[in-house]
Amino acid sequence: MMIHPKDTGDSIAILGLGKVGSAVGHLLRSVGYQIIAVADQSPAALKKGISFTGGKACKSLTEAAMAASCIIITTPDDAISSVCHQIVSDGAVQEGDKVIHMSGAGSIDLLASARQAGAFVASIHPIQSFADVEGAIINIPGSTFGITADDALREWSVSLVKALKGTPFFVPEKDKALYHAAACMASNYLTTLMHMVETTYQALGLNHKEAIRAFWPLVKGTLLNIETKGAIQALTGPIVRGDAGTIEKHLQAFQERLPDLLNAYCELGLMTVDIALQKDSLTRNQAEIIKKQLKGGITDEHPGNVK
């Protein structure tokens, strides 16, 4: 059985009204999907979330799920499987229903109990960062979504993503963890890197706002170059130029002023050398000299060690 991609008449229940559930519910409602019921174990989250999603505020997850033919579970990842099992055990999932979760790392096996009850299951995950509901509503349109779905639900899932003004692509079940790790690096680790930069500028006497003002134009310019040219061609700086003298000065500065950041600088530098080689911007000899410098800077003595 194939679910028709234009079958948007489903009655939808959203279980979990955090940032993702509230934002997705709001956007789906705005394009004509029927958000019929919502639930959250936190009364405060339910009160706030329903203002975005509409629908009946239910006292329990099971009550909300019973009201709908499409159940979207947007609880924390660790609760997805148990919530699914609970609503199935309570008889809220019927044969032919759709049960969706929006976890990036979680497999559709988290919904195994719903599948056993005769439902179609899918994971539909937006590759986006959500600081708050309002920001999520702005950021979701234009985002790419990773879809892992039962065959019967693939076209329907694509239709849902397009309704959210997103770009769909299919992620094999076996690759879910790697897919999510890439998203974490793009967002979480980028944030960590920016914190390292901010810490370095603050060591020079700038306050928080001054530090961000100092490096943010550079970050925006770099991101634009990556977007238009790709990461390899966007790479600039002393490693690309084979400037071992500058790298040595960097290492000395970190050793003296910010030793906790030294190992991270060195490890990132080693990866940057390999990218620079792909760009054909330095010789093998230059690369080996800089790699030797960077490897020599790595120590087990500081918390920043990632060896």
- Which pLDDT belongs to residue 305? 46
- Which pLDDT belongs to residue 6? 45
Ranges of each domain in the chain: 11-171, 180-297
What pTM was estimated for this model as a whole? Answer: 0.86
pLDDT band at 10 (very low <50, low <70, confident <90, very high): confident
- Which pLDDT belongs to residue 5? 44
pLDDT tens across 160-211, in order? Answer: 999 999 999 999 999 999 999 999 999 999 999 999 999 999 999 999 999 9
- pLDDT beyond 70 at 98: yes
pLDDT band at 301 (very low <50, low <70, confident <90, very high): low
- Which pLDDT belongs to residue 276? 96
Rounded average pLDDT over 26-51: 94
Cα(27)–Cα(208) distance, integer angstroms: 35
Assigned fold of 11-171: Rossmann fold (3.40.50)
pLDDT tens across 103-156, in order? Answer: 999 999 999 999 999 999 999 999 998 889 999 999 999 999 999 999 999 999
